[in-house]
Amino acid sequence: MDGKSENSEAEGWDSIPASRRSERTVNPIRAIVDALQIPSHTKKPLLKLSLGDPTVFGNMDVPDSAIEDVVSKLRTKKINGYLPSTGLPEARRAIAMKFTSPASPLTESDVIINSGASGSIRMIIETLLNPGDNILLPAPGFPLYECCAVSQGASCRFYELRSELDWEADVKSMEKAVDKHTRAILVNNPSNPCGSVFSRQHLIQILHFAQKYKLVVVADEIYANITFKDTEFIPIASLSKEVPVLSIGGLAKQYCVPGW
């Protein structure tokens, strides 16, 4: 062993440097929630609103029918082994059949099954954006969008959701935010955290904006159909045959099975 190697062994290991990408990857939600100090004794019962998971706090539970169906499928021993990376063809076909529309006809080849909606958000942003590109995001909005974009080396420009507009988007602020480096616009409907459900006319306004600037619409619709009576949820992809729309949905919220 040469002298240099002996000296390196004697000095031991320094701390392993993190990659630049990991250093710019920060999820503010986890930073806040993980640091919460919940008092053990309070005069009033606490209603926990920190995470969109009704099951972990006991407010709602996973339906027995869902548990029984999964157990019965596992007992067949026909679904063991590695699956196609895009998901089982039968499952993708079922999703396509449920969400197809005349304006946006779907087949199983249009569907990718991911590791949750958060995994889909990351996949889409990594697929669309290069370092130096930017994406339009709602403010206020779900922080994971910015986390994924900044991690990718892209940047974020924000358009406003306005209380006086029932928390719909201010299209004028979109016009101010877009520039030559903008690749996509993210539309979160129903909105997290505002709870607004965009009207058909408002969604059409957003599509006209996306068409004007040739922006891909990333539609986070994880809360689809979770609305109060007489409030209609409309998938944005069902309103346009021209604008490319990447829609994100999931089982967690609608079927009360977060983490499955």
Each of the 260 residues of the chain gets a pLDDT tens digit; together they read 555 555 555 567 778 888 988 988 888 777 777 777 777 788 888 777 767 777 777 778 888 999 999 999 999 998 888 989 999 999 999 999 999 988 889 999 999 999 999 999 999 999 999 999 999 999 999 999 999 999 999 999 999 999 999 999 999 999 999 999 999 999 999 999 999 999 999 999 999 999 999 999 999 999 999 898 889 999 999 999 999 999 999 998 888 888 88
Vertex 198, ends 246 and 49: CA angle to 5°? Answer: 90
- pLDDT (0 to 100) of residue 54: 72
pTM score, whole prediction: 0.87
Return phi, psi of residue 119, to 5°: -65, -35
- pLDDT (0 to 100) of residue 213: 98
Residue 131 preceded by cis peptide, ω within 30: no
Residues 168 and 202 sit within 8 Å (Cβ to Cβ): yes
Pairing of strands 155-162, 168-169: antiparallel
Residue labelled with tokens 């955290």: 193
Three-state secondary structure call for residue 134? strand
- pLDDT (0 to 100) of residue 10: 56
**How far apart are the C-alpha atoms of 187 and 219, rounded to whole Å?**
5
Residue 235 CB contacts under 8 Å (≥ 6 apart), including other chains: 99, 101, 104, 219, 221, 224, 247
**How far apart are the C-alpha atoms of 143 and 196, rounded to whole Å?**
17
